[in-house]
Amino acid sequence: PSANARGTRLTQIPGNAPSLIDRPQGCSFRPRCLRAGAGCETDQVMRAFGTGRFARCCRPLVEASA
């Protein structure tokens, strides 16, 4: 979510949440992420991608205003 878009609906990604028992290899969201690609099949480290914003993603969506 964005602090700049308060009051707007969050965009959902398609599919179901990953199983906690049978978690996919690498990123748990990889099977249903539209931005998934090379690198997503390995576990990711926590990365900063803005002031106070972090993600375990090698392709975080960064807003133009960030």
Burial of 7 (0-12, 13-18, 19+ CB in 10 A): exposed
19 versus 61: the higher-pLDDT residue is 19
Cα dihedral sign, 12-15-17-18 = negative
Q: What is the pLDDT of residue 1?
A: 59
Q: What is the pLDDT of residue 65?
A: 42
Q: What is the pTM (predicted TM-score) of this model?
A: 0.59
pLDDT, tens digit, 9 for 90 and up, residues 29-65: 888 888 888 889 998 889 887 788 888 888 876 554 4
66 pLDDT more than 50: no
Which token pair is 44? Answer: 């990711």
Average pLDDT for 15-37? 85
